[in-house]
Amino acid sequence: MGDEEKAMAEDKVKPKEIAGGLIENKVFLSGADGKLWPMFFFSVLLVAALNFYAVSREPDVISIAEIHEHENEVVKIEGIMISWVEDPYSDGSERLDIILQDESGVAEVRWFKFGELPTIGSKISAVGDVRQWEGRFWIQSLGNGALQWDSSDVALPEGVPLAIIGQDPEPYMGKTISIEGYITKTIHPDTVWTSAYIADHPNYANSKHQLRLFISSASGAWIEAGSKITVTGQIRFEEREFRFVMYTQGPEILVDYTEMPSISVLEWGEKDTWGYEMNKLVQIEGIPYQDENADWWIQGPASHQRLCILPGDRLLENNASAFNGVDGLWTGRLVWLANIDEVCLDDGGDVSSEPILGVEDLLVEIVSHPSSYLDDPAKQWNVTGYLAGSLAPDDSSASVRDAQSWRDDKVSVYVDFPSSRNQWIEEGQRMEMVVTVDWNPLYGSMNLVAVEWELQGDALPADTLSWDSDVVIWGYSENNMVFIEGQLMPANGSGETWLIRPETNDRICAETQGLNSLNLEAMNHSQPWYGRLIEKQDIDNRSTYLCLSGASSDDSDGDGLSDWAEREVYNTDIDAADSDSDGYEDAAEVLAGSDPNDSASTPTET
């Protein structure tokens, strides 16, 4: 290109100079105005960029070793999932505890309202708040979106024979594998932490290889000793015991019900070996009888040979004549009864288990013979149990357990109640039900469907809440009837009434609809209140809070003064609406300023 052509090209791109400014693209900018437009466009671009950053920004990814530096902050961690436990305290909470590991350490993730998880050994990320209690840190996450993973990071279990692990386990260290074999110990449905062995033969004496299993998270069903199982988990070296072990989860133990475990037959002459059969299904031959204390026993061949049996009171009432004195082979679970220092056959006997089954009886039967239950969904069974949580009128399902209190229960089963109800059914209520057995493909579990039911006895008494307890403790009583002592405060700007702890900022909302208006004098005193503890939503703040629904104080005589106020403040009769018989009820006299205990003092005279 020549000098003349270059000059022409430059002339095309250079702005033309004129007096007072520059002209380019037919826009004239003069003086300070030439700076304002670029500043304006730059500010618009900056605001747009900040808005985009605010919307799209994710929490910072930190290493697990840095968690303690971010207390009460929202962070994101990434690592390999090495174990998890569902409902770690067996209290029915919708919580999953996960252990993640990266190159810097391990961390606990408490996932509430959780979803599905990939297999152990998968790489996942977790977003949540860093919480701390007495020096223990964890990540608290909520909802399905809190945990994420890519399909390429999901560990695919490799099937490995038990014998190969026994010969050379090191190549499988830290890998997710599946092993098929026979479990050597009976696993309770609700046991959250336990251990057992998986062997290559159902008989201990004939097995050539065994591997220790550390099992976390409840299996949800009985797994009988000797059952053929497929277990998925990770192989690790346990330094404390100097051996290789496998970590797995109870729900991931798959039982092959087509191959039923053998039931051990107890021999009367070998009672010292019965300890090896504890908690297992066993059989023993003998004659049941009832002693002078109304306890039941199975009599062996010799006079000194006997085994206590626990058929259950309701069972004996319905079938005592058929149960007593029948010589036969009796089946049940061998358990230790601490109060008499004896082993016993729990709910044993083919005859005794026929009329009405308890929750545990039915689960044992289903685990032992599942096909006979699930293949006939129309068949009905009589079952008794205790409601594991208060059932609202609009709820259609709940858990039923084998004991009134969660402290004493061993098993529970999910029950659908399709019929509508007008009232709550309280926790601990004993129920006799006619049910069918159903299979829930969504959860891969058995559940019962109640065709009809009858309530028996009383439910558990109302819980008493303490202001000194953590709100998490209060959450265990959600939907249950509770007592709490507090002072009633009038409705605030939001229209809600509150119970407060005097001289503090502690409070809980109270729904007092229908409360006798005369009882508003109770606002002046701290006293016990009774109601149902429910969870309400604060839509404006996108949060939830606890509230006492149907809050009331006991008022035996219905005069508008609570029993507490009559006893502690006015010394009036809680069973008489008009304590001084002057024709004016106690509450009316209190509000008018007269003495409810003096017939000469009436509202008209004050």
* Encoded amino acid at 29, one letter: L
Q: Where are the beta strands (DSSP E) in 515-586?
A: 526-538, 543-552
Top pLDDT among 245 and 275 is at 245
pLDDT for res 57: 52
Q: At 53, give phi and psi (nearest 5°).
A: -65, -40
Where residue 110 falls among pLDDT bands split at 50, 70, 90? Answer: very high
* pLDDT band at residue 128 under the 50/70/90 scheme: very high
For 259, the token pair is: 């191959």
Mean pLDDT of 30-38: 57
* Segment among 15-24, 412-421, 527-536 with least mean pLDDT: 15-24
Tokens at 560, concatenated: 């508008």
SS3 359: helix
Task: From 221, 255, 187, select the one nearest 362 (Cα to Cα).
Answer: 221
* Residue 156 CB-density burial (10 A; 0-12 exposed, 13-18 middle, 19+ buried): exposed
Residue 517, pLDDT score: 47
For residue 364, pLDDT over 70 is answered with no
Proportion of the chain above pLDDT 70, given as a percent: 77
Chain-centroid distance of CA 309 in Å reads 33
Which of 3-17, 141-155, 498-512, 521-535 shows the lowest per-residue confidence on average (mean pLDDT)?
A: 3-17
Q: Which residue has the tokens 């579990």?
A: 445
In degrees and rounded to multiples of 5, residue 336 shows phi and psi of -100, 130
| Lookup: tokens for 439 | 């299979």
Beta carbons of 93 and 77 less than 8 angstroms apart: no
Please provide the average confidence, as pLDDT, over all residues in the chain.
Answer: 77
Lowest-pLDDT choice from 73-77, 231-235, 538-542, 599-603: 538-542
451 phi-psi bin (left φ>0, alpha ψ -120 to 50, beta other): alpha
Give residue 325's pLDDT. Answer: 63
388/206 Cα distance (integer angstroms): 42
Provide the 3-class DSSP secondary structure of residue 228: strand
Evaluate if residue 168 carries a pLDDT over 70: yes
Q: Give the pLDDT confidence of 385-397 residue by residue, as tens digits.
A: 889 888 888 888 8
In the chain, what percentage of residues exceed pLDDT 90? 6
What local confidence, expressed as pLDDT, does residue 338 receive? 67
The DSSP code sequence of 378-441 is T--EEEEEEESS-B-TT--EEEEESSSSTTT---EEEEE--S--SS-B-TT-EEEEEEEEEEET
Pick the range with the lowest mean pLDDT from 146-150, 172-176, 535-539. Answer: 535-539
Model confidence pLDDT, tens digit, residues 442-486: 766 778 888 888 888 788 888 888 888 877 788 888 888 888 888
pLDDT the model gives residue 164: 87
- Residue 492 confidence (pLDDT) above 70: no
Per-residue model confidence (pLDDT) at position 140: 93
For residue 220, how many other CB atoms are within 10 A of its CB? Answer: 20
Query: Tens digits of per-residue pLDDT, 252-287?
Result: 888 876 676 777 888 998 888 888 788 888 888 888
- The pLDDT of residue 17 is 46
pTM of the model: 0.40
The single-letter code of the amino acid at 256 is: D
Strands 27-29 and 21-24: antiparallel
Closest CA to 519 of 451, 587, 452: 587
- Compute φ and ψ for 143, nearest 5 degrees: 90, 165
Residue for token pair 């599905």:
116
pLDDT at 241 over 90: no
- At which residue do the structure tokens 């009988």 appear? 224
Angle at 437 between CA 433 and CA 439, to 5 degrees: 140
Kindly report, residue by residue over 432-449, the tens digit of the pLDDT. Answer: 888 888 877 776 677 888
With contact defined as beta carbons under 8 Å apart, do 156 and 175 qualify?
no
Range from 296-305, 326-335, 344-353, 417-426 that averages highest in pLDDT: 296-305
Residue 51 has a CB neighbour count (10 Å cut-off) of 10
